[in-house]
Amino acid sequence: MLAAYAAATTRIGLGNGVVPIYPRHPVTMAQAAATLNEVSSGRFRLGIGVSHKSAMEAMLGLRLVEPLGVMREYVAVLRGALAEGTDFQGGHYRVRWSLALPKRPPAPPIYLAALSVKMLELAGEIADGAVLWLCPPAYVRDVALPALERGRRRAGKPLAGFEIVAAVPLAVSDDRAAAMSAFRGELKRYVEQPFYRAMMQAAGLGDAVAAFDRTGEVPELLAEALGGIGDARGARDYVEAYRKAGVTLPAVRPITVPDAPWYRRTLEAAAGW
């Protein structure tokens, strides 16, 4: 899909957020990323993440073990494979890979999906950016940004120039009730995930999570904190709250994409911001 977008455009940036690392070897990931980066003339950004046990183990039958250690080694191998090659011996990967290639665009930046404090710190240390999902502005400001700064200091690098991407769920719609109902239904599976629950509680949404535990339904208060729903002005204000919190690239994501009736209107509104 990204290759099709690259062929149809000349200026827009392209990125994915994100590809799980456990099902795909880092050299294979590097080959795909290098190809996309070349066909897009250097416009591609590679987003990777560890995913969750419910997806990796229950769905795919893989073992999600030592995610921080695996991710550290994965990025090391990936960077080598995106350059001239790598001779890496680690606890999780043992790779000897080199490939002479013609001149091509510089390697694409690598962004890590991060939610927990430890993964945020690792992203700041070894990556070029971080991708956040369902993190309200308060969590970005009070938890994510300080953790990323600690990781950057560990690597001896400034936070300036580090991309902080936050997916921003939006629905620009006159039917607020329908959009809210759709978003509350979509959120249910996330509130049941331990990592997301911990993030929401750290963002000051513990009472809303407790309400979900009592009723089994996502309270409207939680949905309002995690997405912008309503008219274009309110949605724009919600995006600006992310910018003020420190996000450098708000990634608008229409709620219940792609078959929602507000999908096109939301994207067209956001394009003007």
Whether the per-residue pLDDT at 56 is higher than 90: the answer is no
Report which of 157, 21, 133 is spatially closest to residue 76, judged by C-alpha positions: 21
Using CA of residue 78, residue 80, residue 84, residue 89, what is the dihedral sign? negative
DSSP annotation of 107 reads P
Q: Which amino acid type is present at position 147? A: A
Report which of 12, 13, 40 is spatially closest to residue 104, judged by C-alpha positions: 40
- So what's the pLDDT on residue 73? 98
- Same domain for 144 and 268? yes
The number of residues making up the chain comes to 273
Our count of domains for the chain comes to: 2
- Same domain for 51 and 176? no
Instruction: Give the CATH number for residue 126.
Output: 3.20.20.30
Whether the per-residue pLDDT at 39 is higher than 90: the answer is yes
Work out the average pLDDT over 219-228.
96
- Same domain for 108 and 14? yes
Alpha helix positions (H), 133-231: 137-139, 145-154, 176-191, 194-202, 206-215, 220-226
For residue range 229-252, list pLDDT tens digits in order.
Answer: 999 999 999 999 999 999 999 999
Q: Are 22 and 64 within 8 A, CB to CB?
A: yes
- Same domain for 121 and 91? no
- Same domain for 19 and 91? yes
Work out the average pLDDT over 181-192.
95
For residue range 43-53, list pLDDT tens digits in order.
Answer: 999 999 998 88
Mean pLDDT of the chain, nearest integer: 94
For residue range 101-129, list pLDDT tens digits in order.
Answer: 666 788 999 999 999 999 999 999 999 99
Full domain range(s) for residue 180:
114-273
Q: Are 137 and 245 within 8 A, CB to CB?
A: yes
Q: Which two tokens stand for residue 176?
A: 């607020």
- Same domain for 156 and 261? yes
Whether the per-residue pLDDT at 100 is higher than 90: the answer is no
Of 69, 85, 112, the residue at which a domain comes to its end is 112
Distance (Å, whole) CA 33 – CA 30: 5
Q: Are 111 and 129 within 8 A, CB to CB?
A: yes
Whether the per-residue pLDDT at 269 is higher than 80: the answer is yes
Whether the per-residue pLDDT at 263 is higher than 70: the answer is yes
- Same domain for 177 and 249? yes
- Same domain for 106 and 150? no
258 pLDDT tier (thresholds 50, 70, 90): confident
- Same domain for 214 and 241? yes
Q: How many CA atoms lie within 13 A of 57 on its CB side?
A: 6
The pTM assigned to this predicted structure is 0.93
- Same domain for 79 and 212? no
- Same domain for 64 and 190? no
For residue range 136-184, list pLDDT tens digits in order.
Answer: 999 999 999 999 999 999 999 999 999 999 999 999 999 999 999 999 9
Q: Which two tokens stand for residue 37?
A: 């980066």
Report which of 141, 103, 114 is spatially closest to residue 21, judged by C-alpha positions: 114
Q: What percent of the chain has pLDDT over 90?
A: 87
- Same domain for 155 and 190? yes
| Backbone phi, psi, residue 48, to 5° | -130, 160
Of 112, 141, 172, the residue at which a domain comes to its end is 112
